[in-house]
A and B are shown apart, each in its own frame.
Chain A
Amino acid sequence: MPEIAVLLSVGRHPASGRARRADLDARALELALGLADVARIHAIHAGDPGEPALREYLGMGIGSMTVLASEGDVSGALADHLKQLRPAVVLTGGRAEWGEASGMLPYLIAQALDSPLICDAVSIALRGDAARVVQALPRGGRRALRVALPITLTVERSGPQPRMSAFGPGRRGLIRAVAVDSPSSAPAIPADWLQRPARVRPRRLQRVQGSAAERLRNIQSVRAVSGTRLLEADPVQAARAIWQYLLEQGLAEAAPAADPSSRTDAADRPGAPGI
């Protein structure tokens, strides 16, 4: 059975600041739970084993999790633990909810394990020694990738909605504390960096100078690029004119369903290059 490791961190509620399960890590765990019947799931946290917010992850139904007792910069400890575990898939959220939140941890782990990394994963299907991953693109697009195992995936807000956490299984779940062989003494944020409360930066606005009447005239005078075409027609002719316009401007395709590469389970042929 292939092993799946999910790296979890403690999150922070955006309004109250209370510690809770991190949203992106919970989505990563939800993605892993979708493979619960074909793989063995290992939930791993690096930090304080007594943290109460970890129970919210256990409440999602995973039964137990492993906590590496460490503090400060935990990337080394996690990498060593994963090298021993040798999972087929490592899942993690895109970035933390507190601290520096640089989002570098998945890349450092992928580097240490020498496994390819796919960011912004939405779904995963295991097929033998490769996996088919669907990645989210800007503007709501999706693309499919076939990656040879072992792989590292990060999950962003486009990932699956995490299931609710139940209190009973959260209390009954088991937390296994593991001591780290060589704990790193490096702090999470180096001492020569200065930390201070965020200052509100002024947004650059395209200010149109002038009175309210001038601003109104300005917004109303945004003309079409090529000059307006005004058409008076009966509904059928109007519909044809709109459809022609959409085709000309490339906003609609005349034959979307005939494209074979859009079928999800077709033979995995290479498609157009990425980006």
Chain B
Amino acid sequence: MIRRSARRPRREAGVIRRDPRSERESDAPPEAGPAAPTPGRTPGQRPELAPVIIDQPEAIVIAVPDLDRGRLTALDRDLIGAARVLADARRGAVLVVAPSDCADDLGSAGADRVVRYATPAMGTYLPAVLAPALIGLADRLTASHLLFADGPAAGGDLGRRVAARLGVRPAVHVTSLTAGEAVCRADPGRCEIVRAPPRVLLIEAGCAEAVTGAPHQAKPLSELVLGREPAIIDLGPVQVDRSAVPLVEAELIVSAGAGVSDWAAFHRLASELGAAEGASRVVCDLGHLARDRQIGASGAVVEPRGYLAFGISGAPQHLQGIARCERVVAVNADPHAPMMQRADLAIVADAQQVMPALTDLIGREKRRA
């Protein structure tokens, strides 16, 4: 008879165990990558680089980043890099316009000067009041260029407003920028237009490298005063059916893998949470969910704020699809699955039982409110 070792304690139900290995690993210092951004940096040591100070710039280039919930996105960093390209050619300075609640370090992103604007009063439609304020700023400082991010967020709208007011034909969808020429994408996808950089440019992602290395001064200038636009009143957000949003844009995704067999419960949970439905490859192959719901290397690469995985073991191709997701909850019967190590909150339980329990709990909480 094989006796169970008396030293190993019995697992108790309901106990939260922290994974000591992952805690130890996160305490370790980060390894230096093979390509350090500045030469002369020894791994494990971070010497303070002297900030770059430009005292009397000969030109000012204004960059207006979009910001996602107050943080600089990759496109915003590329935008400031593109502004640096134009400013360095004229020995000028980059001025970044940001809201006052942006906490990011704009100096390390490459800003020499920073102009903030306060959050406008309730009901103000921001693009309509920001455009004339930016034009006033550009006139006061005789800025040579204004750069915006050409995207579905505010930058595309704001940049075109400013260009229309200034009477300038802007360079839109700029994919490559040097001091002498801007390459714009035209005839959607088929042609390129090469022209001298005009006063207003709308930059696409990947146009210029983000600024790395020595941080810039980010000297704050006087705050931008926003006027009023009485014709447009912002009434605030409207409730949407969040499960109808495409997968790549969804904020919350509930995902099913091979461990899910109760599909009615899965669909009920997704609609109760208001989350988009995702799937692993196996589920799509078997036809339980449509192919456009597949998440992974050959499916959709998603970046939701929250990801709930039911019955997914965590094949590397699937993990590639959620590589940029911060908050992952995994429910799986197998505690050693790779998805359980990837997850922020991992629950060892049968997905078929947890899904209806969660649906009932959410229903009760909503009815109680």
Known: A138-B153, A223-B22, A274-B124. Contact between A147 and B231, CB under 8 A? Answer: yes
User: What are the residues of chain B within 8 A of A230 when measuring CB–CB?
Assistant: 16-19, 335, 340, 346-348
Q: Does chain A have a CB within 8 A of B90?
A: no
Contact assessment for A272 and B348 in the assembled complex, using a CB-CB cutoff below 8 Å: no
Q: Which of A14, A111, A275: most chain B CB closer than 10 A?
A: A275
Contact assessment for B232 and A145 in the assembled complex, using a CB-CB cutoff below 8 Å: yes
Q: Does chain B have a CB within 8 A of A257?
A: yes
Q: Which of A101, A258, A269: most chain B CB closer than 10 A?
A: A101
Chain A interface category by residue count: 35 or more
Contact assessment for B326 and A272 in the assembled complex, using a CB-CB cutoff below 8 Å: no
Q: Does chain A have a CB within 8 A of B329?
A: yes
Complex Cα distance, B123 from A271, in Å, reads 5
In A215-253, the 8 Å CB interface with B consists of 216, 219-220, 222-243, 245-246, 249-252
Q: Is the interface of A mostly helix, strand, loop or mixed?
A: loop
Q: Mark A103-137, 1 if CB is under 8 A from B, else 0.
A: 11001101100001111100000000000101001
Q: Name the one of B157, B238, B316 contacting A142, with C-beta atoms under 8 angstroms.
A: B238
Q: Name the one of B119, B188, B347 contacting A273, with C-beta atoms under 8 angstroms.
A: B119
Contact assessment for B161 and A195 in the assembled complex, using a CB-CB cutoff below 8 Å: no
User: What are the residues of chain B within 8 A of A111 when measuring CB–CB?
Assistant: 164-165
Contact assessment for B354 and A145 in the assembled complex, using a CB-CB cutoff below 8 Å: no
Within the complex, the shortest CB–CB distance from B27 to chain A, in Å, comes to: 10
User: What are the residues of chain B within 8 A of A97 when measuring CB–CB?
Assistant: 188
Contact assessment for B346 and A193 in the assembled complex, using a CB-CB cutoff below 8 Å: no
Contact assessment for B170 and A102 in the assembled complex, using a CB-CB cutoff below 8 Å: yes
In A147-200, the 8 Å CB interface with B consists of 147-148, 156, 189-190, 192-199
Q: Name the one of A142, A238, A243, A255 contacting B369, with C-beta atoms under 8 angstroms.
A: A255
Interface 9-residue window, one of B43-51, B140-148, B192-200: B192-200
Within the complex, the shortest CB–CB distance from A95 to chain B, in Å, comes to: 8
- Chain B interface residue count, Cβ-Cβ cutoff 8 angstroms: 109
Contact assessment for B238 and A262 in the assembled complex, using a CB-CB cutoff below 8 Å: yes
Q: Name the one of B26, B163, B176, B235 contacting A271, with C-beta atoms under 8 angstroms.
A: B235
Q: Mark B308-349, 1 if CB is under 8 A from A, else 0.
A: 100000101001100100111101000100101111111111
The residue of chain A having its C-beta at the shortest distance from the C-beta of B238 within the complex is A142
Q: Is the interface of B mostly helix, strand, loop or mixed?
A: mixed
Complex Cα distance, B15 from A108, in Å, reads 64
Q: Does chain A have a CB within 8 A of B11?
A: yes
Complex Cα distance, B229 from A143, in Å, reads 17
Q: Name the one of A107, A189, A249 contacting B327, with C-beta atoms under 8 angstroms.
A: A249
Contact assessment for A110 and B164 in the assembled complex, using a CB-CB cutoff below 8 Å: yes
User: What are the residues of chain B within 8 A of A269 when measuring CB–CB?
Assistant: 235
Q: Name the one of A99, A250, A273 contacting B124, with C-beta atoms under 8 angstroms.
A: A273
Q: Which 10 A-B pairs have the closest CB atoms?
A: A271-B236, A270-B123, A255-B369, A140-B245, A107-B164, A251-B306, A235-B353, A239-B357, A224-B344, A144-B235
Given A116-B231, A142-B237, A251-B252: 10 more A-B contacts, CB < 8 Å: A104-B169, A140-B250, A142-B240, A194-B194, A228-B18, A231-B345, A252-B362, A254-B365, A258-B369, A273-B123
Q: Which chain B residues have a beta carbon within 8 Å of chain A's beta carbons?
A: 11, 13-19, 22-23, 25-26, 34, 119-128, 152-154, 156-157, 160-161, 163-165, 169-170, 172, 175-176, 184-195, 206, 229-240, 242, 244-246, 249-252, 273, 305-306, 308, 314, 316, 319-320, 323, 326-329, 331, 335, 338, 340-350, 353-354, 356-358, 360-362, 365-366, 369
